[in-house]
Amino acid sequence: MKLFVLFFAAFIPSAAVIAQVADAKPTPQLYSDQTVRNMREIQRAAASSTYAYDQTRYLSYNIGPRLSGSSQAARAVEYVADQMRKLGLEVRLQKCFVPHWVRGEERGELVEFTGMAPGTVQKVVLTALGGSVATPPEGITAEIVVVNSFEELAALGREKVEGKIVLFNFKFDTEMQSSGFGGAAYGQAVQFRFGGAMAAARFGAVAALNRSAGGSQNRLAHTGSMGYADGVPKIPGAAVSFEDAETIAHLARSGKVKLHLTLTPQTLPDVESYNVIGDLKGTERPDEVVIVSGHLDSWDLGQGAIDDASGVAVSMEVAKLLTDLKIRPKRTIRVIAWMNEENGGRGSAAYEKEEAANISKHFAAVEADLGASHPLGILFTGKPEIQAYLAPITQVLLPQGATQTQLQAGGVGADIGPLTRAGVPSFAPWFNQQSYFNYHHTAADTFDKIDPRQLRELGGVVAVLAYGLADLQQPLPR
């Protein structure tokens, strides 16, 4: 029934009227008729634009992986700034100092297990976690202790863990992902990636492994950030592929399993880097800002295509569409390509610091960092009343099926997190997350994973949302 109503509503000229009808008590008009017409025009233009796809391709193929501190991240800053200038934006680079962690060699090999033939070569596919310390250059050899939770680790205690390598074998819930809750599945698994080395080191382990915090069953290891705690020894951390976790867990059930592990990452001095910020000035309230953003840095294993070249590209797409259509927003739309989302959040912190006195002028913030597949609608963090303000926007997005809106407590994007916490209404495209974590943070996050039509849909969502917010006739509840 609801679908039918929405479908019908799409053919009524002023969506603004519908929003008022849908709301129990009469509200002032949220969007002018002209704004609604413009939103429709933007949505249609997005459906045939190749701009975001081309930008995602350039970032993925011609620049490549963009880990903070790398020359490719620096090149990406130059490139995106240049492209934003070509769009006529007022561009500035916002300085931040980012970690410079460099992946070295990474090798794992089982050197003892039940039934092993002398001379056996049994490789383990693994990858160092971002920020990990190195093993000695010749590697370490130790028995693997397999646990499924922090509680199991604690139950084993120092006696059974000291001097060993702990494998956190918590299984990424692929069924949960298949049913559309990939983010929730990730949330469960990622705690062992982030906290595994800290927990294992407290019991004297010499290294920590985690079963990859993703859905891949294609021998791919899933990297990502890990943490260290003050006063706890820093031990190397790595993720093993799904298959290798299964192998090790099976072998460990019937006897001792020993691993020779070599990781040679280096943490070099911090590097000066930048958020790229491009303003499309508002015509009526230029001092009020709607941010639309993605992050420019990426992990180094793949090309950072879905995480998050696509997010940067669709944010740039907003400005491209508006300037091509000669539509000027009433408030300023600020396109941001954030630096260092993945392993430090230094770009986000720099923005927060610089804009601390200016939070009230941040009308809204949008971040696209949850995938590049078919968008289902819009997630938001803020007052529940905001939902009504989104109705006219999702009515414009009805033809592409992006009609759902949902309040998500706790934020919708890492880079806009400080703004969210300061009370700025925050938004993100809501994706079908049935496959995102099969590629996320792996070597397979490559340009081919971008579906051009779905990326155009994403451009539609982000552009209509950002423009609509920038033209809102009322303040957003906050």
Cα separations (Å) of 347 from 226, 337, 354, 418, 471? Answer: 18, 9, 11, 11, 27
Check binding of 395 to its own copies (CB under 8 A). Answer: no
- Kindly give the pairing relationship between strand 165-168 and strand 140-147: parallel
- Residue 138 catalytic? no
Q: Counting contacts by CB under 8 A, is residue 474 touching its own copies?
A: no
Nearer to its own copies among residue 279 and residue 297 (C-beta): 297
**Residue that has been written with the tokens 């997010």 in this structure:** 311
CB 261 within 8 A of CB 238: yes
Number of neighbours of residue 304 by Cβ within 10 angstroms: 33
Query: What are the φ/ψ torsions at residue 122 (nearest 5 degrees)?
Result: -125, 95
Which residues, 297 to 336, sit near its own copies by CB under 8 A? 300, 302-303
The enclosing H or E element of 124 equals strand 122-124
Q: Which among 19-27, 161-169, 247-255, 416-424 is the span making contact with its own copies, rule CB under 8 A?
A: 247-255
**242 touching its own copies, by CB under 8 A:** yes
Does the footprint of its own copies cover residue 447 (CB under 8 A)? Answer: yes
Q: Which of 9, 74, 80, 226 binds its own copies (CB under 8 A)?
A: 74
The nearest distance, CB 395 to its own copies, in angstroms, is 36
Does position 112 bind its own copies by CB under 8 A? no
| DSSP character at residue 191 | H
Q: Which is nearer to its own copies, 74 or 470 (CB)?
A: 74
The Cα–Cα gap between 247 and 121 comes to 14
CA atoms within 13 Å, Cβ hemisphere of 158: 4
Listed ranges 289-297, 342-350, 426-434, 443-451: which one lies at the site for its own copies (CB under 8 A): 443-451
Contact at 8 Å (CB) between 261 and 132?
no
Find out whether the peptide bond into 308 is cis, omega within 30 degrees of 0: yes
Q: Does 61 bind its own copies (CB under 8 A)?
A: yes
Indicate whether 218 belongs to the interface with its own copies (CB under 8 A). Answer: yes
Distances (CA, A) of 269 to 77, 99, 100, 101, 345: 19, 7, 6, 9, 16
Over the window 176 to 215, marking each residue x when it contacts its own copies by CB under 8 A and - when it does not, the resulting string is ----------------------------------------
Q: With CB under 8 A as the contact rule, which of the stretches 25-33, 44-52, 60-68, 364-372 interacts with its own copies?
A: 60-68
User: Distance between CA 252 and CA 321 in Å, rounded?
Assistant: 57
Start-to-end CA span in the chain (Å): 32
CB 293, min distance to its own copies, A: 23
Contacts of residue 415, Cβ cutoff 8 Å, sequence gap at least 6: 293, 295, 336, 338, 341, 345, 347, 348, 351, 367, 369
Residue 132, token pair as written in the block: 């990990």
Give min distance, CB of 57 to its own copies, in A. 7
Q: By C-beta, is 106 or 355 nearer to its own copies?
A: 106
By beta-carbon proximity to its own copies, the closer residue of 38 and 310 is 310
* 448 lies in the binding site for its own copies (CB under 8 A): yes
Which segment (121-129, 395-403, 427-435, 461-469) binds its own copies by CB under 8 A? Answer: 121-129
Total residues at interface with its own copies (CB under 8 A) = 45
Rule CB under 8 A: is residue 220 a binding residue for its own copies? Answer: yes
- Using the minimum distance from each CB to its own copies, give the nearer residue, 60 or 394: 60
Footprint of its own copies on 251-270 (CB under 8 A): 251
The one among 14, 23, 41, 75 contacting its own copies by CB under 8 A: 75
Residue 119 has φ and ψ, to the nearest 5°, of 90, 0
Please check whether residue 378 is in contact with residue 396, taking contact to mean a CB–CB distance below 8 angstroms.
no
Q: Does 219 bind its own copies (CB under 8 A)?
A: yes
Q: Pick the closest to residue 139 from 111, 104, 103, 107 (CA basis).
A: 107
Check binding of 125 to its own copies (CB under 8 A). Answer: yes
Among the options 106, 288, 317, 341, which is catalytic? 341
Binding footprint of its own copies on the chain (CB under 8 A)? 57-58, 61-65, 70-72, 74-75, 79, 113-122, 125, 216-220, 242-243, 246-247, 250-251, 300, 302-303, 438, 442-444, 446-448
Active site residues: 341
